[in-house]
Amino acid sequence: MPPIADLPLWLRTTLWLYRWRCLDPVPFVPLRKPLDQCRVALVSTAGLVAPGQAPFDKTVKGGDFSYRVISAGTPVQELIETHRSEAFDPRGIAADRNLALPLDRLHELAVAGTIGAVAPRHLSFMGSITAPNRLIKHTAPEAAQLLLEDRVDVALLVPV
């Protein structure tokens, strides 16, 4: 994100007035086994899509609450960034998609034995969702079920 002072006045005002949600207590489940035995998935909010996938819809009021499945074998640099927020600075991710979905780093951790395995599927969401109820009620449970089907032990959130 660029410095707040660099944002247009209307966006600074919107961010200042926005009623941010606070989760209390924060959902948390402790690890049940050592990390070197865990299957790890990535969950990004960078609005990344794989070649051939539909981009996130920037016209959805309150933000596109869908997600995209990114295969573990997808070359990270081929991912397409479709984020909608004007507060989002895409230059770093344009240079290296691993900043938003560190799939190459995750594979390296698996080879090194730091984690047990890389999950077969990873998730990409749109990060600029100002009306999250549909995400919370519909999309998040569906996405969580997908991770359970893949026997994921750790989901690493990569917020953008």
Question: What does the angle CA 83 – CA 16 – CA 2 come to, to the nearest 5 degrees?
Answer: 45
Query: What letter would DSSP give residue 78?
Result: G
pTM of the model as a whole: 0.86
The pLDDT tens digits of the residues spanning 122-156 come to 999 998 888 889 999 999 999 999 999 999 999 99
Is 30 within the bounds of a domain?
no
Is 110 within the bounds of a domain?
yes
pLDDT at residue 130 in the model: 83
Is 74 within the bounds of a domain?
yes
Is 69 within the bounds of a domain?
yes
pLDDT at residue 94 in the model: 87
How many structural domains does the chain have? 1
Is 90 within the bounds of a domain?
yes
- The string of DSSP codes covering 18-48 is ------SSPP----SS-GGG-EEEEEE-B-E
The pLDDT tens digits of the residues spanning 42-95 come to 999 999 999 999 999 989 998 899 999 999 999 999 999 988 776 677 888 889
Is 23 within the bounds of a domain?
no
pLDDT of 115 over the 80 cut: yes
Contact 79, 101 (CB under 8 A): yes
Is 20 within the bounds of a domain?
no
Which residue type is seen at 144? A
Q: How far apart are CA 92 and CA 104, in angstroms?
A: 16
Q: What is the extent of the structural domain holding 51?
A: 35-158
Q: How confident is the model at residue 1 (pLDDT cuts 50, 70, 90)?
A: low
H-only helix segments in the chain: 9-17, 91-95, 103-112, 133-134, 140-149
Is 114 within the bounds of a domain?
yes
